[in-house]
A and B are shown apart, each in its own frame.
Chain A
Amino acid sequence: MSTISASTTSTTGYVVTSDTTGTLVLQTGATPTTAVTVASNQQVTFAQPANLPNTFGFKNRIINGGMVIDQRNSGASVTINNTAVYTLDRWYDRCVGGAGSAVMTVQRSTTAPTGFTNSKLTTVTTSKSPAVSEQFWFYQAVEGLNMSDFGMGTASAVTFTLSFWVRASVTGTYSVAFQNSAQNRSYVATYTVNAANTFEYKTLTITGDTTGTWLTDNGVGMYVFFDTGSGSNFNAAAGAWTAGTYYRTSGSVSLIANSGATFYITGVQLEKGSTATSFDYRPYGTELALCQRYLPALNSTSTTDPVALAFTPATTIVRGQFDFKVTPRTPPTGITVSSASHFSWDTGVASGTPSAISFTAASSQSARFALTVTGATAGNAAVISFSSASGQILFTGCEL
């Protein structure tokens, strides 16, 4: 085997021995000891545990960066008219410019670059030249617990890199902004869409902020904003951390000002280091579980899907308990159901359709909710099921 040994005595710093086996060995130490062997078939063997940059495991701190999970809307278009709403899992979109005067739709799309199945599509349906104080953007808030190793707000703050695929109908310079939970520290970075309606890969490398307060608990560790046309009050120069709330540079494209404009994005990845690595394709079940930390949810797939075990504390109430499959970030504070008519209850001796469903209470393990019914007998056990394939129950209040 051919050997390269780091030398503590040779003036060249290394010693090379060679043969014709096709195997290469790297050695280090005062007494040269094999660290890495590269066999003739290219198999690599490490003598000690590898200490590598975080290029695998949970390297991507963005959840649902591939835009695959959409528990709320299952790909249906959401109209955002003078409000801000959660759309695809973990993504929050704001379009507040006066009722009817600035409207966009957001949905999960199947238009995607090679290697991806989905993207997040924003379409401007009613354009508006934004007022100075208006905000148009979408963000993902990374939980502090998931990026405490970034060292933000300390002298050890790391350099990090954001990468993504974007396809927009309007070419030009766009802005991304990074902010702390209090939104009093901002870093604006820009990227350029060179060709209309063509997926392009973008990377942005940011030096971590050494000042400011950055949470490392279950609050917002960092906001990652994609500006879609905020007003000039939120303009800042690109490329530096600044005190205040800024989303864009003055020269950035205002997507909301372009009627019919489309903006697709996918493959969003936030990772430590100054190099954008390949997208972290996590198993679907893993990605869904990561999302359910922020949105426990049930979507029916048939007209008989079980929902929860229950009991009847009164003739007019069926109370169910749902145990979370994933521990939520914080206990839910409410529920949203598609329609009470999408649910049914059954005690074995009585059954029916509730007229209303309301939240009762929740912990980080379970949630209870009440069905308003008629004809129940107090003191019975019961089951609650979906009675519609369109049934949905969302446990709210866990998102960032």
Chain B
Amino acid sequence: MNEPVWKLIALQPMQQIQVVWREWPDGRQESCLVTAEEYLKWLAEGNQPLPAEEQS
């Protein structure tokens, strides 16, 4: 299955490092810090995350 694109999540009050999130077609959801090795590897392959949504 194709690898889904990571999406940035707006920084929450208790967070110091931003988080990214993505969902696979089978429903599995992954999220990690933007400093996590798996996300950095994905970025290094030339990928770009989707922007965070505006907070209401």
Contact = CB atoms under 8 A, between A and B. Distances in A.
Given A334-B38, A340-B27, A341-B27, A360 B15 contact: yes
21 contacts: A313-B13, A316-B56, A334-B36, A336-B29, A336-B30, A337-B29, A338-B28, A339-B28, A339-B29, A340-B29, A341-B27, A356-B29, A358-B29, A359-B19, A359-B31, A370-B12, A396-B30, A396-B38, A397-B32, A397-B33, A397-B37
Nearest to A394: B30
A340 B36 CA distance: 22
B30 A368 contact: no
Nearest to A339: B27
A337 B28 contact: yes
A361 B15 contact: yes
B39 to A, nearest CB: 8
A358 B23 CA distance: 10
A217 B13 CA distance: 33
Contacts of A361: 14-17
A357 interface: yes
Interface string A327-360: 0000001111111110000000000000011111
B36 A333 contact: yes
Contact of B33 (A334, A356, A368): A334
Nearest to A317: B12
Nearest to B26: A339
Kindly name the residue among A316, A339, A341 whose own CB sees the greatest number of chain B CB atoms within 10 A: A339
Interface string A252-273: 0000000000000000000000
A335 B21 CA distance: 9
Contacts, number: 67
User: Majority SS of interface residues in chain A?
Assistant: strand
Interface in A277-334: 313, 316, 333-334
Interface residues of B, number: 23
B15 A397 contact: no
A335 B28 contact: no
Interface of A: 313, 316, 333-341, 356-361, 368-370, 396-397
A340 B28 CA distance: 8
Interface in B6-56: 9, 12-17, 19, 21, 23, 26-33, 35-38, 56
Contacts of A341: 27
B23 A356 contact: yes
B27 A334 contact: no
Nearest to B39: A334
Contacts of A360: 12, 14-15, 19
A316 B9 CA distance: 14
A316 B12 CA distance: 13
B31 to A, nearest CB: 4
A397 B31 CA distance: 11
A337 B46 CA distance: 26
Kindly name the residue among B16, B27, B29, B38 whose own CB sees the greatest number of chain A CB atoms within 10 A: B29
